[in-house]
Amino acid sequence: MRINPGNKSPKVISASDAAKLVKSGDWIDYGTTLVQPDLFDTALAARKEELQQVKFRSCIAMRPRAVLEADPEGKHFFWFSWHFGGYDRAKHDAGIAHYIPVNLGEIPDYYRRFNDPVDVAVMKVRPADENGNYNLGGSLLWHRAVIERARIVVVEICDKLPYAYGEHCCIHHGEIDYIIEGNDLACPQLPSAPPSEVDKAVGKLIAAEIESGSCLQIGIGGMPNAVCSLLQHSDAGEFGVQTEMLTDGIIDLYKAGKVTGQHKQLDVGKSVYTFALGSQYLYDTIDRNPDFLCAPVEYTNLPHNVMRNNKTVAINNTTQIDLKGQAASETAGHRHISGTGGQLQFVRAAYASEGGKSFICLSSTYERHGKRESRIALNLTEGNIVTAPRSDMMYVVTEYGIVNLKGQSAAERAKLLISIAHPDFREDLARDARNNRLIPKHYI
């Protein structure tokens, strides 16, 4: 546990006084999602002209960040993100936000092992409990490692955060240097779009492969959420959860009585996650609910831990797969979209789990400049980043079918992927595969 210098009681200060703690050249850590500060952010933006080369680490900004809005040319503030949400993506398009390539479960190690500098850490927390602990509100991830590493720790009080259970979910009074009395701003929400017909078709194929007693990891997006919806009405009995992101779809499954965790090997009876992001319905459900356990990201994501639960099932989206079986899930050419996140770690963990299954899902086509294109392609789009290598791919699912690539030759992989491509593109893909020697000329 971090002890503040001199072991003094934290000082209550205004947001503007807290912002004065920042010097030119400092590294500032804003944390992730629900705990990113608002009052401090606004106060620091007001100091723009006094500061140079202030660098931020962040993850999935859920509201506009005042420091970026105040510095649209990126002359004073530099924004680095472990994973992009929509806002980060827009600022990357504008040239003022930048991605840090990671496997999400390794991030605590970067702070502890490589001594990533943190001059000022600022995060939202709930008001202190009777033991002097300030709860991090269902967004734990690597925040404990940040607190340990930080030269100065500032917290911004927000009583709208849900109270999350978990051994490491709090910052203790003795670790904090300064407190900003917060406001009653509601938690940002991430609405779930209703599943499309393609989402439902993919979800139906995956749901049919999931057995009773499976331990679920559900990624973000319409297809994974469609799986949750279908599992509510499936013949399968019940499931466990160990996931990175806790979503509305998982909450729906829990509310339907389908999540009990009784067949898990780790944390029996608990749904384990490292951050919750969705609607107020989700936040209300986890608030002081002992069925849900918020754990550090190295616990939820590292494959050697996840695989200890039998029948681990990982369900994740991708945006493009080439005929070799490589999945590009985080970029559109040279444009950065999201991040590696925990996808690769859960793909590996699910395969290593006894009876486990990994599903990478995608729609067969997308629209580009008014033209329909295949998401299954001979080659990845120039600039696309491989998120899951071909050697790690297990089940791939589109609305046209499901195939297992494990143990398959390059030729068989190409044939299997072509079989689940949109029918309008199969002939061209088969010709391209043969012309480029992925499929032998006389191989049937």
| Catalytic residue numbers, as ranges | 244
- Of the candidates 226, 221, 281, the one whose C-alpha atom is nearest the C-alpha of residue 251 is 281
Whole-angstrom distance, CA of residue 151 vs CA of residue 177: 9
Using the CB atoms, write b or e for 409-438: b if 16+ within 10 Å.
ebbebbbbbbebbbeebbeebbebbbeeeb
| Number of CB atoms found within 10 A of residue 371's CB | 7
As given in the structure block, the two tokens for residue 11 are: 């000082």
Residue 437, phi then psi, degrees to nearest 5:
65, 20
| Number of CB atoms found within 10 A of residue 98's CB | 16
Whole-angstrom distance, CA of residue 269 vs CA of residue 260: 6
Whole-angstrom distance, CA of residue 383 vs CA of residue 332: 8
Whole-angstrom distance, CA of residue 96 vs CA of residue 80: 9
* β 11-12/178-180 pair status: parallel
User: Amino acid identity, residue 57?
Assistant: R
Give 169's contacts (C-beta < 8 A, 6+ positions apart).
135, 136, 140, 294
Count Cα atoms within 13 angstroms, Cβ side, for 123.
36
Which of the 8 DSSP states describes residue 255? H
User: Amino acid identity, residue 199?
Assistant: D
As given in the structure block, the two tokens for residue 149 are: 């590493």
Using the CB atoms, write b or e for 323-346: b if 16+ within 10 Å.
bbbbbbbbbbeeebbbbbbbbbbb
Output the CA angle 384-390-395, nearest 5 degrees.
Answer: 110
Task: Give the 3-state secondary structure percentages of the chain, helix then strand then coil, rounded to 5.
Answer: 30, 25, 45
